[in-house]
Each structure stands twice: as C-alpha cells, then as structure tokens.
Structure 1
Amino acid sequence: MNAIETKSLTLSYGETLIIDELDLTLPKGEITVFIGSNGCGKSTLLRSLARLLKPSEGSVLLEGGSIAKLPTKEVAKKLAILPQGPSAPEGLTVLQLVKQGRYPYQNWLSQWSKDDEEAVQKALKSTRMLELADRPVDSLSGGQRQRAWIAMTLAQDTEIILLDEPTTYLDMTHQIEILDLLFELNEKENRTIVMVLHDLNLACRYAHHLVAIKDRKIHSQGKPEEVISCSLVQEVFEMNCEVTVDPLFGTPLCIPHGRGRCILKEVSMNG
C-alpha cells in the first residue's frame, strides 16, 4: 500500500490555479522530496496532503482511504506536518512544546498516560534534545529550535511525516544535521518522510524518490539518478548546469554555470 496518493488533485487560491489535476503516488517507507522553482506549488501541495487545504477538485488518499472522510484526530495519528518557520509562544519550553505532539491521543476520558510520557522522552532522545528539555524554545539556536519542532512531530508518533523546507535559514552544518536525523528516522523506524527542499544536491543525496513540479503539474518523478539531468534543471529551474556524480554518495551532483555564456554538458552517472 502507498502512503499517500492524489487523484486528479486540483488546488487553487481564489481564482489562481496552483496545481492542476495531479495524479501522484508517494511510496511508503521512503523519503520523497518535492523540487521545483519558487511559486510552483510545492508547499501548497504539501499542505493539501495534510488536509490543511481543501482541493478545488479531486482527492487525497491516505493509506488507501479518502483523507477528507477521516476524523481529524485519526488523521493526526497517521500523519504529522511541520510547516515552514513555525513559531512557539514566548517562554514555552522544549518539553512543553514536544508534549503538544500528544494532542491527538488526549480526550476527557484519557488524560496524560505512561504511553504519552514514553513517546515524549523517545522523541527528545531521538532528536538529542533531552539536555535542552527545560530551555525556552525562543532561546535556542536555529538548528536546536528545528530539532525541537521535529521532536514535537515525532511525539505525535505517526508513520508519515511531512516537512516544508525543514532546512531553511539554517547554516550548512545544521542543514546536514537535520537531514541526517530525518534519514535515520527513515532507516531505523521506517518512517515515510515527505519534504520540500530547495537545494538540489541535498535533495538528491537524501531522497529515494524525487518529484519535480513545473507548470502546475508533475514534470518528472523517480529515483534521483533517473530524474536529474541538465535538461530537467534547465526546464524546471531555467538554469544551465553540469550533472556529475557526488564522490561521496554516488548521487547526482549539479554544478551550476554562471559568469557568462555556458554550454550544457552532462556527465554520465555511470562514469
């Protein structure tokens, strides 16, 4: 069974068409990354997959069933989303933030339980935030703050995690730290991760499945080595580049041209 599917999904903001009759399948237990130029609809699509945006037409299927027909708390037990640039109330501690991830499991009959406490502690440990649990979120560095939000998402204990540009505004060290954490969650816990990323080389390095979006539709999708080429980068991003092989991981490596006229050149992924 696939994690998420869309059937003729159409998304709009008012009269502005963002996504047009999109058929998409996101594999379960893998890392999928959406790529595309600014304003192409990546974040809008991600929000619709989490039922935060109602489709104009079409549907989203979560593990085979219509997400629109599921109760809100049932959706929240299956799928978690971390939007771009989330903010916490002033003075809220990391522990208090992470506890918010247990909201779907709370009701007037079932208050805070041992399972809730174990989920919170596991999330703090997985994100290496135990020692910072009592620190206010607004006192943390950018990388620490992002780990705190991911810990809250993990405490929700869902098989599917959606993240909108989780490395934005982070320096290179913290970008790799966050992506390594998400990679470990996929490898060790078989979590399905769906992300929007701007950095093509990081997208290629961490994704099992790439989805390139252009002109409100899927331009191409598949394994990074099947998707990334000079022609795709030119068509989707309007940028000339060379594509070679990442010497560390064997994934596609895009080297952008600049400083004047350039000639498209592609180096075979097979050497």
Structure 2
Amino acid sequence: MSCKAPGLFQDESNIELSIVDVEVPSELDLDEVYDQLERMKQRVLQMKSMIIRPPATTTDPVQAEFEKLADSDNPHLREVQQETSRGFLQIDLVRNRLSETTKELVDLAARIQESERCTKDLAKKLDEVPKWIEESKHQAGLCMERHNELSTTLLSDLNYSNHMRPLLVTLSNNYSSKISVTCYRKQYKEILDLVQNTRLLLNQTHDQLRTYTQIINDSFGESTTHHLSSMPDISGLMDLLEQSREIGKKKRASSNVKPLALIQLTKAAEKLTLLQKFRDGAGK
C-alpha cells in the first residue's frame, strides 16, 4: 500500500525512498529504530503543512493514518508507527480539549468575579438589615402612639357614622319635600313684572314730589297762597296712592311678596299728608 497523501506529487522524493527501502536486520536496534522514528516524525510534520485535507469520512483516523504508513514490512516498526499516529491524534485531541477548557476557565473566572461582586453587595445589604429592623420598630411605635392619640381625641368611624346618619337622613327628607326652582318660573315672571311697574310708579311719584317741593320752596319768596292754590288737589294724590295700594295688595296676595316700592309710596303719602296740613295752615 502506498503512503502517499492525497494532493501530493506522484514522484516520490529521495527521502521517502530511503525511508521505505531501508533493510531491516533480523535483530532490531532500538536506538536506530527510535532515530528512524524521530526522522519520520519530522518528515510527517513537514508533510503535514503540505497536505490537502480530504473531506471528512466516517473511518477511524488512527486506522487511516496507519494505512498510509503500512508499507513497512517490519511488524515492530508498523506497531511503532501506529502508536506514533495514535499519539499525535491524542495530542491534537488534548490540545483541543485544553483550548476549550481554557475558555471555560476564563468564563468561570468572570462568573466568579461577578458572584464575588454580588456577594459583596448582598453583604452590605445584610449589614443594613438590623438598622432597618430597628427603624421599623421605632416607626411602628410612633404609629401606635398616633393611633391611640387619635382614638382618644377624635371620633372613630363608628361614632362618626352614628352621629352623621340622622343628619343625612333629615337632610335627605327635607330636600325631597322641596320643589325645584324651575317650578316657580311663572311666579317669578309675575313678581318681576310687579317690581318693574312699581319702580315706574315710584319714579313718576318722585318726579312729581320734586316738582311740588320746588314750587313750595319758591312760594316762600312770593305770595304763599297764590302758589299753593296752583298745586293739584292733595285728595287726588291720595286717591292715586290708594289705587296703587290696592293693586299692590292684589299682587301680593298671589305672590306673597312686599315690594320695596310700596314702602316708599307709604312714606310719600305721609309727606303728602304733611303738605296738606301745611297748606291748610297757610290758607288760614
């Protein structure tokens, strides 16, 4: 079987021929065998850099390597070659495992550092727990004192509800018996008309009183009797006042409202009565 690797040149080099064509004596010299094995190892390393690796197969890599080196007729040499190939493969496997283990150790070291940091943070928080317990006990005592103080100085929920329930019931009953403002629109309009008419009558009466008062003031400089005789009859004014009173009474009977203008008209009637007395005295 040929020991050529795929992808190499077909012509065998002198080194390969010298290695393969070496005649093995009947009695093996171990030192010479080890020297040959070392030279083969160096050659394998040299060839390894030139090998074009074939596609991955399902065959055993040790067996494949052994088939490449199976040209030797010496069974001891073939066994040594097989062990050497197996050793190289184990070295590669160990190297790969070492690389993976190194990565895992690096990750594990990072996790350990993170765990140490978290442990320190937790230790700090655990140191604060006794302080928090003492503070909580203090706050709980303050809350109990405030609760006891409020329970003695203020009403409780039960006492407040017992006190407010009758008031709320009474208020609800009183509101239920009332009529809303919208039901009094008609009465409101009537009262508004009455107030406007009364205000108009009051303005007219005020103007007349001012006119008659001016006449009285002017009459003191001239003949009092002449000017007083030009004033209208007081009885006519009294009749007008009585008519206004009757109208006000009728409207008050429907609205139960006493307008302010009626009070002012009453005062005006009193003034007219005084003027009548003054006129009678001046005529005498």
* TM bucket normalised to smaller: under 0.3
TM-score (normalised: structure 2):
0.16
Give 1 or 2 for the bigger CA radius of gyration.
2
With the length of structure 1 as denominator, give the TM-score of the two structures.
0.17
Give the helix-richer structure, 1 or 2. 2
Structure showing the higher strand proportion among its residues: 1
